[in-house]
Structure 1
Amino acid sequence: MFESKRITGKSMNDRHAIIDIGSNSVRVVVYGGPPRAPAVLLNEKVTAKLGKAMGETGELSDKAMKSALSALGRYAALLKLMGVTDVETVATAAARDASNGPEFLAAVEALGLSPRLLSGEEEATASAHGVMAAFPGAKGVVADLGGGSLELTEIDGKTARHGITMPFGTLRLEAFRAAGAQKFAARVRKALHAADWSEGAGLPMYLVGGSWRALARYAMAKLDWPLDDPHGWELDTETAIRIFREVTAARIKGGDVPRISASRLASLPDAAALLCVLAEEIKPASLVFSAWGLREGLLYGRMSPTVQAQDPMLAGVTAFAETLDVSAASGTMVADWTAGVCATDAPAKQRLRLAATLLALAAQRIEPNLRMEQAMDWALRKRWIGIGDRERAILAMTAIANAGRTAIPDEYLRLASATELREAVTWGLATRLCRRFSGCLAQPLAHSTLSFDKGKLTLAVEGPARPLYTEGVEKDLRQLATWLEAEPAAKLADAIAAG
């Protein structure tokens, strides 16, 4: 039998699996790497549509159960072959509401799994924990749209409360909308009123679920957005309603939205109609799309308080850099040395600068002709947890400047301010100067300082590091000074004679 365990963060080699038996799909995900920013090692799903016939029969169909059990048998076998023993299996709305749900769960247990049937409130809370894990300090409402139900939960930065579940899953929306737009909207409003839901006005609404993310991809394409990953993307409510109202009556074609399955495309109008009603009733300030939800929330709930308190972005970037032989200590050492021109008192900016430094150093471990483009791709497209598009643009701009280029791409100005991007150029040029001068070695950094005061940028080098100051280093010092509109200066002590 498999079992779930407490996640303490003692080993980055620990692997944890979540099997999610949903109303639409049955999925297994195996996580590894840093506990606070787990990497996906295996992600498989089968669209069994357990909840498809629920509205008509109240039962799980034999066909759907056979499909789900076949997938679950495969998952159990794969996990055994992988040596993964920490497995948590949960079932949600379809198994919860079906009259033959207990019979189905008994068949799941016979496969060697230990399914736990989540209540609607437990499902809502788990999804909210996933959002809290992905967006530390998040406040607002979490809306998790699954195949069989919609969960709403209020989060206040530290806790999740008032979780409710309503029967507005994607498999049911088409039938509900058949009565007409006005009756559909009235039905949703009535359900919110019956649940005594009044939270979320003026705060972000965090959207969890594949149908929401498909809508985000549609909106990103419509707005010609520079990035294509919806995780962390924030859209103001007014613009969202305008775009999604168009979707409610549209016939979306495959070429209209990249990387969306045919089944997902077919459900877009229904999901858009539901989201428009929710946005109009709850009146959130913005919509934030999250790839983390129930499964990551289950993991987060099992983490020790110490692991939960870690910064997920830094945990992820640090673990990634270490795969390219760049240690956290090296990144911190370089960030400390460049602080003379990059210093900031804002903790959020300090963590971002350290991450940018680590990625810049990691880029030096790959082929020269790929470095800048690869580092930009890491910054913009790798799914870092705990940052949004603004921070991604800053990381990418640092990578560009680390390659010696200072021109700011126009599309980056849609993601971050010119001031922030110019600051990122400073970070990149300072990192470039540091690594070119010292090789990122402790001894030369200990015998040198970089300072910026009264319009003068000064590199002071003590004797042991004196031979490292060359024409190439002087060129980098001059480039950074020009960028800062400063006068470059080098204070060079005599080298200590050998022997």
Structure 2
Amino acid sequence: MSGTTPSDEKRAIIDIGSNTVRLVVYNGPPRAPVVILNEKVSAKLGKEVGRSGLISEKAMHTALSALARFAAMLDLLKVTNVECVATAASRDAKNGPEFLAAVRNLGLSPRLLSGEEEARASATGVVAAFPGAKGTVGDLGGGSLELVSIDGEVCRGGITLPYGTLRLGDLRASGPAAFSASVREGLGRAGWSGGAGEPLYIVGGSWRALALQAMHEIDWPLDDPHDFELSPETALRLCRQFQMTKPEKADPRITASRLASLPDAAALLGELLEQIAPSRIVFSSWGLREGLVFSRLDAKTKAEDPMLAGITAFARGAQVAPGHAEAVADWTGGVCADAAADGNLRLASTMLALAAMRTEPNMRAEEAMGWALRKRWIGLSARGRAMMAMTVFANSGLIEVPAAFSRLASQEDLHAAIGWGLAVRLCRRLTGCANEGLARTSLRLEGQEMVLSLDEPVQALYSNAIGKDLRRLSEWLGYEWKVKLVVDGRNSDLQASSVQ
């Protein structure tokens, strides 16, 4: 079982999609890779491609800014195993070659995937997640829909259709009948006739949002949309419901952008269900990126049971080095005061918050509550347990205080703990907790102003998302904020709260 041993080698995928540009860094067991960094920016590269044939200047600027940050982050994390791919928008746009040339100027090496290559990569991710799976894989992206058959492995062929979420609004504008005819004719032109009576595995952020809302509607007892199944009848009923209007009570995990695309994604899935007639619908969280990672494994590792590989690695435990946690606690200590009576509580809370990031996103809140409130921690009071749990929650972006916590600690204590968690979140998302990132940035108070400083070599790490984290922390603690760039020992302001 050597392949189940966690790997120290970090592997990264940069996915330049039509809707989002994403960086994912993995390590852990190769057959069940662990995500240690996952960032995306909604650049909408494909938004204007269907109308003008071009990637807009705004979208290109947004994407290149994100990719510059990704390149800087990979350099900080010393990740050399990097695969960068571009899909439909870069493939279809007249200025796609110009855009990819600009990406190369950032030091990245983008590979432009054909429609079939994109379909096969997504299907490979599904086969990796569901060994032996047979049926059809459908991957809905921002610029295109890919369909490919699988039968324990990816079959030859695969089609790509211009039905991405950024184009569906225009296609549906002529009414349901015209949209249905368009999908039917598109499948016919591409020669697609398979999938009847077999599972339909669906991939893509908008369809995962649909899964989350479906789980919400039927009060499903599990949280993870991966491996969530629906019968064709239930799926079609929900698709027809969702395509008419946005739900009044949306699942809180669905982002605003995904919620906006939900009616279009539901309408397309409804048409596919009627045209393909699958036996069941299975949602997969593994797709193109995981397919690319899986494709690079040797045959022996590919043959491993991913469930056993993942559980074995988890059982061995993910340890956070005390010295590393101390460095993060020192970084956040510039704005988070330590009360004498608390001793090492903030350090311990930081350590647990970093450890919690190694668990699955759907499990973090519940897992953290169990760790902080139920595990036997000698010398930790009930007050300390509530503050520790709240630190971990805030590090994940959750600041609502569970009612039970208010019985264990004062509102003042819990408010402070949320500040600790938000500070760890800012540090983690800005620097990746890389030693050089911690050394070349700092967070401190200057009077009533919170100042984030960055040395010139790491300026690209700062982004709009980081600015939001900084603003959220400063507002929580009651300070103004400022970002400074340090060049040759001299400061120059990049951004300040007064200009927001």
TM-score tier (shorter): 0.5 to 0.7
Q: Which residue of 1 aligns with 2:138?
A: 143
| Cross-structure match for 1:262 | 256
> What are structure 1's unaligned runs of at least 5 residues?
1-7, 326-361, 372-499
Given residue 275 of structure 1, which amino acid in structure 2 is its aligned partner?
L
The change in CA–CA distance for 1:367 and 1:148 in structure 2 (over 3 A counts) is closer
2:14 equivalent among 8, 11, 19: 19
Deviation at 1:113, TM superposition (A): 0.4
**Deviation of the 1:57 alpha carbon:** 1.0
2:40 matched to 1:45? yes
**Which one-letter code corresponds to 1:283 in the other structure?**
A
For 1:251 and 1:14, how far apart are their aligned partners in 2?
A: 43
Aligned to 1:478: none
Asked if 1:310 corresponds to 2:304, the answer is yes
- 1:273 paired with 2:278, answer no
In the TM superposition, what is the alpha-carbon distance from 1:163 to its structure 2 partner? 0.8
User: Match of 1:265, as an amino acid?
Assistant: L
Residue of structure 1 aligned with 2:287, choices 270, 288, 293: 293
Answering whether residue 364 of structure 2 is matched by residue 369 of structure 1, we say: no
User: Is 1:120–2:115 an aligned residue pair?
Assistant: yes
Aligned partner of residue 256 in structure 1, secondary structure: coil
Aligned residue for 2:192?
197
For 1:117-155, what per-residue CA distance to the aligned partner results, in whole angstroms no more than 9, with x for missing partners? Answer: 000000000000000000011000000000000000000
Counterpart code for 1:165: T
* Structure 2 residue 62 is the aligned partner of structure 1 residue 67: yes
Is contact 1:128-1:160 (8 Å) kept? no
CA displacement 1:32-54 (0-9 Å, x = unmatched) = 00000000010000000000011
TM-score (norm 2): 0.63
* Whole-angstrom CA distance in 2 between matches of 1:176 and 1:98: 19
Partner deviation per Cα, 1:341-363 (whole Å, 9 max, x = no partner): xxxxxxxxxxxxxxxxxxxxx9x
The runs of at least 4 consecutive aligned structure 1 residues that moved more than 6 Å come to: 8-11, 365-368
Q: Provide the rounded CA distance (Å) in 2 between the counterparts of 1:171 and 1:162.
A: 25
Q: What's the TM-score, normalizing by structure 1?
A: 0.63
Matched-pair identity in %: 62
Structure 2 residue aligned with 1:219, among 214, 217, 239?
214
What SS is found at the alignment partner of 1:37? coil
Deviations 1:81-121 (A, max 9, x none): 00100000000000000000001000000111000000000
Query: Which residue of the partner structure matches residue 180 of structure 1?
Result: 175
**Which sits farther off after the overlay, 150-159 or 16-25?**
150-159
| Residue equivalent to 2:356 | none
Give the direction of change, closer, same or farther, for the CA distance of 1:51–1:323 in structure 2 (3 Å limit).
same
Task: Please provide the CA RMSD for this pair.
Answer: 2.1
Partner of residue 410, structure 2: none
Q: 1:163 aligned to 2:158?
A: yes
Distance 1:370 1:9 in 2: 27
- Give the conservation status (yes or no) of the 8 Å contact 1:26–1:45: yes
3-state SS of paired residue (2:258):
helix
Q: Is the 8 A contact 1:129 1:160 kept in 2?
A: no
Query: Are 2:327 and 1:322 equivalent residues in the alignment?
Result: no
| Alpha carbons 2:5, 2:29 under 8 Å: kept | no
In structure 2, the CA distance between the partners of 1:324 and 1:283, relative to structure 1 (3 Å rule), is same
Using the alignment, how far apart are the partners of 1:98 and 1:27 within structure 2?
19
Q: Which residue number corresponds to residue 126 of structure 2?
A: 131
Contact 1:20-1:90 within 8 A present in 2 as well: yes
Paired AA for residue 290 in structure 1 = S
For 1:367 and 1:28, the matched residues in 2 are separated by 31
Query: In terms of Rg, which structure is larger?
Result: 1
Secondary structure at the residue paired with 1:161?
Answer: coil
Q: Which SS does the other structure have where 2:31 is aligned? A: coil
Match of 1:384 in 2: none
Q: Contact 2:4/2:313 (CA < 8 Å) preserved in 1? A: no
Aligned match of 1:92 in 87, 92, 95?
87
Write the distance in 1 (CA, Å) between the matches of 2:298 and 2:157.
24
CA offsets per residue over residues 175-231 of structure 1, 9 Å max, x none?
000000000000000011111111111111000001111111111111111112111
**Given the superposition, is the C-alpha separation of residues 9 and 299 from structure 1 closer, same or farther in structure 2, using an over 3 Å criterion?**
farther
Q: Unpaired runs of 5+ in structure 2?
A: 320-366, 377-500
Q: Distance in 2 between matches of 1:370 and 1:284?
A: 46
- Tell me the alpha carbon deviations over residues 19-76 of structure 1, each in whole angstroms, 9 at most, x when there is no partner: 0000000000000000000000100000000000112210011110000000000000
Tell me how many residue pairs correspond in the alignment: 327
